[in-house]
Amino acid sequence: MIRFSANLGFLFSDRPLPDAIRAAKTAGFHAVECHWPYDTPSSEVRQALAETGLEMLGLNTRRGDVARGDNGLSAIPGREKEARAAIDEAIAYAVDIGASGIHVMAGFDQSIAGGHCFIDNLDYACSRGAGHGLTMLIEPLNEHDAPGYFLRTTQQAADIIDDVGADNLKLMFDCYHVGRTEGDVITRLKNLLPIIGHIQFASVPDRGTPDHGEIDYQTVFAEIEALGWTKPLGAEYRPTEKTEDTLGWLT
């Protein structure tokens, strides 16, 4: 049976993170994940996870200086010190709350030097995370939402994973981003399954609830189950109303 994770960067985001975890449990989710939890003491998140019995699947490294337009640091030449500090911070937080994965955000740079920088920083992240049993994730973002982002396609991500050669580096396969950029989501899922560490979804093209749009998620979920995938799938859509009122697809 397919299980689902609530991405608390978007779902239940009208309340503090610990309360969002509790709301996800009440709504029937099997796990949670988040974006940038760092303003919330890890002890409060850990307590909410213990109360609900939910696993925190993952969190993101900090974006950097958001006011300056940063959206990740690890593929930005000259900012390696900041990138590695963000990686260390994410690892420490993940370990404290028992999270299993970290999305290492690349940032806005599409140069060859940015590629080398990303690989070096991923090697650092994987080495640091391995001792804690952490999986490092990289996620291609579509050009419509994140123009200029370093990581843009699943093939580019697959090549980087091969170059780094770390067992704990995996692909974050977001059906929404793949659907907008590359299409043929089911075929790509099948072909990339050995390197996928987490799967997310939202409707295409509006990133809304997964009950409309260009992708038939009932078919996609059935294919994922047929592939033998057992981890919770991450619901990372933007609710247009109170999250509880958008969960008809979950039942």
Active site residues: 139, 236
How many Å from the N-terminal Cα to the C-terminal Cα in the chain? Answer: 13
Q: Which helix (H) or strand (E) holds 116?
A: helix 112-130
What's the number of CA atoms in the CB half-sphere (13 Å) around residue 168? 20
Q: What is the sign, positive or negative, of the torsion defined by CA atoms of 99, 73, 16, 238?
A: negative
The CA-CA-CA angle for residues 18, 29, 59, to 5°, reads: 55
What is the C-alpha to C-alpha distance for residues 14 and 180, in angstroms, rounded to an integer?
27
Q: 11, 239 in Cβ contact below 8 A? A: yes
| Nearest alpha-carbon partner for 234 in 33, 21, 14 | 33
